[in-house]
Amino acid sequence: MNWTTPTIAAAFVFGAVIGSAYSPAQPLKAAGITPVYAIYEANVTDQDGYKNQFLSVLGPKLEKYHVKFLARGGKVQTLIGDEANNRVVISQSTREDMTAFWNEAKDDFKIGQKYSTGMRYITVEGVEQ
């Protein structure tokens, strides 16, 4: 058989199609990357100010640093301990992105404190993926 460039290209494409059909796509996982989870809570006292003055500034920065929301704006239920604040957000990112986000946005949280009380923002390292 004469292996011409079109024949090799066709064989490559055919192999890629067959291979992808039998090997389902897997999410990309970087070895050694430990996720970081952030838990934010506050008692929002002025919904309009909080949304228009705080979240409007914070939102683009969260997006810029690839912060993924796992829970936000849902019903909060305290099972043990002091009553939880009325706004609880749980997010995930890499340590690098979370650090970069915090360095850029930490002063913005002062805006949020004008429209809420009991604000708390903590991070915790997750399990290596």
Residue ranges of domains in the chain, CATH in brackets: 35-125 (3.30.70.100)
Read off the DSSP letter of residue 55. Answer: I
Is the pLDDT at 8 greater than 60? The verdict is no
pLDDT at 124 over 80: yes
pLDDT confidence tier of residue 11, bands split at 50, 70 and 90: very low
Distance in angstroms (rounded) separating the CA atoms of residues 17 and 69: 34
Lowest mean pLDDT among 22-26, 34-38, 99-103: 22-26
Q: Are 90 and 37 in contact (CB under 8 A)?
A: yes
Q: Which two tokens stand for residue 114?
A: 């004008």
Question: Crossing angle, helix 95-105 and helix 56-64, to 10 degrees?
Answer: 150
